[in-house]
Amino acid sequence: EVATGGLEPDRVILLDVEPATAAARRDRPLDRLESRGDAYRARLREGYLREAAAAPARIRIVDAAAAPETVAERIRAALGGWLV
């Protein structure tokens, strides 16, 4: 809120995946934040999921554990009610 003056996006797609799945997909070295460990990433994920639960009209959660084509279809489905 401080950085944006309270501005928020109208719509958000939260791509949710277990930290272990995300780690298995990573094909590059960890950056500074990613190097903080599994417990940090788990807390970060839970924080995002809490934000989504608090604003379901604005934030849609998409299960991103599947193949890219399936995730893309889930994103399109999640956006379906928003795109008019």
With helix as H, strand as E and coil as C, how does the chain read?
CCCCCCCCCCCEEEEECCHHHHHHHCCCCCCCCHHHCHHHHHHHHHHHHHHHHHCCCCEEEEECCCCHHHHHHHHHHHHCCCCC
pLDDT in tens, 64-76: 999 999 999 999 9
pLDDT in tens, 6-33: 898 989 999 999 988 988 888 899 889 8
pLDDT in tens, 27-43: 899 889 888 988 998 99
Chain centroid offset of residue 33 CA: 16
- Nearest alpha carbon to residue 60 among 68, 51, 73: 51
State the Cα angle at 78 between 73 and 79, rounded to 5°.
Answer: 100
Please give the model's pTM, rounded to 2 decimal places. 0.81
Query: What confidence tier does 84 reach under pLDDT thresholds 50, 70, 90?
Result: low
Selected residue with higher pLDDT from 83 and 8: 8
Query: What confidence tier does 48 reach under pLDDT thresholds 50, 70, 90?
Result: very high
Q: Which two tokens mark 25?
A: 């997909």
